[in-house]
Amino acid sequence: MTRSEETEVIDSHRLEQLTLSVSRRAPLDAAVLLTRESDEMVAQVLSALPTSLMVRVLASLPESRRTKLANLFDQSDSAWRLNLAHPESSVGRLMEPIEVRLRVSQTVAEAIEAIQPFAKQYADGLRLRAE
């Protein structure tokens, strides 16, 4: 095993351990735990958490750290930005997006038919991904 492969395995193991540890803590405790980690590691950990927990942990981090992390998240992780836009005591901060997966080979009509049941019920939090 090369040195870079060993580092990757260690990082992968560290990511799993850290994600589990963060998921079992209160948001403020999780934020304190993450202060010692690199921005890249924190972004990976937060991306692996359910959106509602991710938003609560992010809200517990200093504003300067949230700004740095915002640049590391890709556009598919923008749910936390939407959630943080809601008032702190509102249910909007805790909502999880609904994900609908579509096959690239589906026609527009088939895709619309697949989405309609979700769109009526979850219009604000619907995410679409092509497979």
Task: State residue 126's pLDDT score.
Answer: 53
% the chain with pLDDT above 70: 66
Where are the chain's structural domains?
3-96, 97-131
| 13-29 mean pLDDT | 93
Residue 85 or residue 130, greater confidence = 85
Query: Model confidence over 60-106: pLDDT tens digits?
Result: 999 899 888 877 765 445 666 666 677 777 777 666 666 677 888 88
For the four alpha carbons of 70, 72, 76 and 79, in that order, the dihedral sign comes to negative
Q: Judge whether residue 1 has pLDDT over 70.
A: no
Topology of the domain comprising 3-96: Annexin V; domain 1 (1.10.220)
Rounded distance, CA 118 to CA 120, Å? 5
Q: Phi and psi dihedrals of 129, rounded to 5?
A: -135, 135
